Amino acid sequence: MLYLDHAATTPVRPEVLQAMLPHLTEGFGNPSSHHTVGERAAQALADARARVAAVVGMRAGDIVFTSGGTEADNLAVKGIALAAALRAGAPAHVITSPIEHEAILASCDFLERVHGFAVTRVPVSATGRIDPDAVAAALRPETALVSIGYANNEIGTVQDVAGIAARVGRVPLHLDAVQAAGWLPLAGTGAAALSIAGHKIGAPAGTGVLAVRGRIPLEPLLHGGGQERGRRSGTESVAGAVALATALELAEAERAAAAARVGAQTDAFIAAVLSARPEARLTGDPVHRLPGSASFTFAGTSGEAVLLELERRGIVSSSGSACAAGDTEPSHVLLACGIAPEVAHTAVRFTFAHGAPASSIDPLALAAAVGAAVAAVRSGE
């Protein structure tokens, strides 16, 4: 089986398992406990925090360990916006885009519906790019947050985050970097807050980080014992923190080489698919895209039918985001890019691993298999 759904989740790396195992066995202490076992756990947690901070270019005190990317996005959007509203004594304003992960969109909807916030959803181009000038034009005196995905999880489009950061001024910029980690630089983006999910980079599911600069007021979502400097209560998973720190360091060390290697494979695969199937259309930006992401629509087919045919041929891929389980509606990302609903239903996404050796995938053979699967669906075989 050839697994090409790494944007949904990717295997835990052996080095990560080895690093976290001691903290699941003899190093099991609660880091809040004031005895030797707890102090050892606290030291391991502090070390993991410092290692993550080094990769994202922030301070150790800026790192908040979470249960994953969804919690990190919720904490960023709700936490920063609500803190601003509490200081102002009135609902604030948030800027985002219509192609964001549901964790951001639903958080903005919550602020709008429950707390009376105003939300501006800046439109995107046909390739999913946000114009930084449109973000600047949407700013208001009461804008509390700009929340944008660094790279889109469905179409792989990478945003001009430097351009956006330059235009938001003193308004905090939150980047959902869940898909970007391991492919794009995380330090020096100009962001005030950054979300990461461990299971996209070789750590277990249930691990994540919100890196948020200490000067940014943040209203916690979880209350209790005051862990994570009061920003996220609950006994920390030391093993999870160590796992995420290890996976993030490995991904960052390999990032440049992996991006070049996998990007060349992906480019060859995209070109071959477009050549083989006249009805194929690449979604997302052809230039500003994640190295390991290739997504297409195949007019005249059903995306789900193509997926089943591909799996019958030993290739596992997806029709888009894995985070909207059971959703039969066309992708909100593709609709926002101006793709008709009936065409959006034909979408298929292929996402490659960071660590796969160049010899493990033949782009031309893969494209031929995809072409054969599409042809079989179109012919009704």
Q: Which domains does the chain have, with CATH numbers?
A: 14-251 (3.40.640.10), 255-379 (3.90.1150.10)
| pLDDT over 60 (residue 265) | yes
The pLDDT of residue 328: 73
Laid out side by side, the sheet with 293-298 consists of 280-282, 293-298, 347-351
- Number of Cβ within 10 Å of residue 186's Cβ equals 25
- Quick one: pLDDT at residue 26? 87
> Is the pLDDT at 355 greater than 90, yes or no?
no
> Residue 358 above 80 pLDDT?
no
Share of the chain above pLDDT 90, in %: 92
Q: Is 23 exposed, middle or buried (0-12, 13-18, 19+ CB in 10 A)?
A: buried
Q: What is the pLDDT of residues 69-96, one digit of tens each?
A: 999 999 999 999 999 999 999 999 999 9
Beta 293-298 vs 315-316: how paired, if at all? unpaired
Q: Is 337 a catalytic residue?
A: no
Mean pLDDT confidence for 147-169: 98
Residue 118 has pLDDT above 70, yes or no: yes
Q: pLDDT band at 357, cuts 50/70/90?
A: low
- Which DSSP helix (H) or strand (E) runs through 315? strand 315-316
Give the Cα-Cα-Cα angle 321, 288, 173 (nearest 5 degrees).
75
Banded model confidence at residue 319, pLDDT cuts 50, 70, 90: confident
Residue 356 has pLDDT above 80, yes or no: no
Over 80: is that where the pLDDT of 320 sits? no
Whole-number pLDDT of residue 267: 97
Residue whose C-alpha is closest to residue 174's, from 131, 145, 208: 145
* Gap between the Cα atoms of 261 and 357, Å rounded: 8
pLDDT at residue 309 in the model: 96
What's the pLDDT band for 260 if we cut at 50, 70, 90?
A: very high
216, pLDDT greater than 70: yes
Whole-number pLDDT of residue 327: 57
**One of 106, 323, 369, 372 is an active-site residue; which one?**
323
What is the pTM (predicted TM-score) of this model?
Answer: 0.95
Model pLDDT, residue 27: 86
Tell me: pLDDT of 213 over 80.
Answer: yes
Band (123; pLDDT cuts 50, 70, 90)? very high
Query: Six-digit token pair at 90?
Result: 């009135």
Mean pLDDT of the chain: 95
pLDDT surpasses 90 at 205 = yes
